[in-house]
Amino acid sequence: MSEHHLETSVSGRYLVEAPDGESLFPLLVGFHGYGQTAEDELELLREISRSEPFVLCSIEALHPFINPKGQPGASWMTRRDRKLRIAENVCYVDAVIGILINKLAFDGRLVLHGFSQGVGMACRTAVLGRHAVSAVMFLGGDIPPELTDLALMRAVHLGRGDCDSLYPQKRFEADVVRLREGGIKPRVSLYDGGHYPNGEYFEDAERFLGAIR
């Protein structure tokens, strides 16, 4: 048996919400968790951007499936062909962000937000992508092991529920160490709860987002 890969084109789906008015606005781009959709991440982006108007963009992963609840969901990647999937995903996200920057009234501030599996995609976009970011926000997920130049994230908000078994304390502590070694002092948001965020997280994330200049 011989294995081959054929490059083809697929359609990616993303949702955009832009504030009213003629002003220039910052851009907040989000990446959902495993088995979720762009709508799920868009809800998180709305919650953390209430104090300042941002253009919101929620990007859906390229690999759809029916999740255990019997509903549509998507995954960013699996272990198979990992390097190939990473390159494809980064190219896809770069293209989406490029379209938004060129078409919308963009003020130069680009913030990335990732939840769970989407954290890896937010990190890779910041470090491997072609658009410079102002900050990256992690929620319930860890930094991919292959990334090295973490200083490209510039500023980091790191959220974790104290009972989150999917993002355990040791992994969280290791991420804090990696960021500090990379020259970034992350803003840590520890909240009472599990994998999914609560009001305590949203309030702290909102303050972080409002301080980005």
**pLDDT tens per residue across span 75-107:** 998 888 899 999 999 999 999 999 999 999 899
- Give pLDDT, residue 69: 84
- Give me the pLDDT at residue 29, please: 98
What digits encode the pLDDT tens for the residues 112-132? Answer: 999 999 999 999 999 999 999
Identify each DSSP E strand in the chain by its residue range: 14-17, 25-31, 55-59, 63-66, 72-75, 106-115, 135-139, 156-161, 187-191
Q: What confidence score (pLDDT) does residue 154 get?
A: 97
Q: Work out the average pLDDT over 145-165.
A: 96
Q: How confident is the model at residue 7, as a pLDDT?
A: 81
Band of residue 23 on the pLDDT scale cut at 50, 70, 90: confident
Question: How big is the CA angle at 105 (ends 49 and 118), to the nearest 5 degrees?
Answer: 45
Report pLDDT for 80.
85
Report the candidate in 198, 123, 136, 135 with the shortest Cα–Cα distance to residue 161: 198
Please return the burial class of 66, using the count of CB atoms within 10 Å of its CB with bins 0-12, 13-18 and 19+: exposed
Q: Which pLDDT does position 206 carry in this prediction?
A: 95
pLDDT band at 21 (very low <50, low <70, confident <90, very high): confident
Tell me, what's the pLDDT at 52? 84
Lowest mean pLDDT among 65-69, 131-135, 197-201: 65-69
Residue 68 contacts residue 29 (beta carbons within 8 Å): no
CA 127 to chain centre: 12
Q: pLDDT class for 56, splitting at 50, 70, 90?
A: very high
Domains of the chain: 14-210 (3.40.50.1820)
The confidence band for 22, taking pLDDT boundaries of 50, 70 and 90, is: confident
pTM over 0.85: yes
**What Cα–Cα distance (Å) separates residue 60 from each residue in 39, 81, 117, 210?**
9, 20, 12, 25
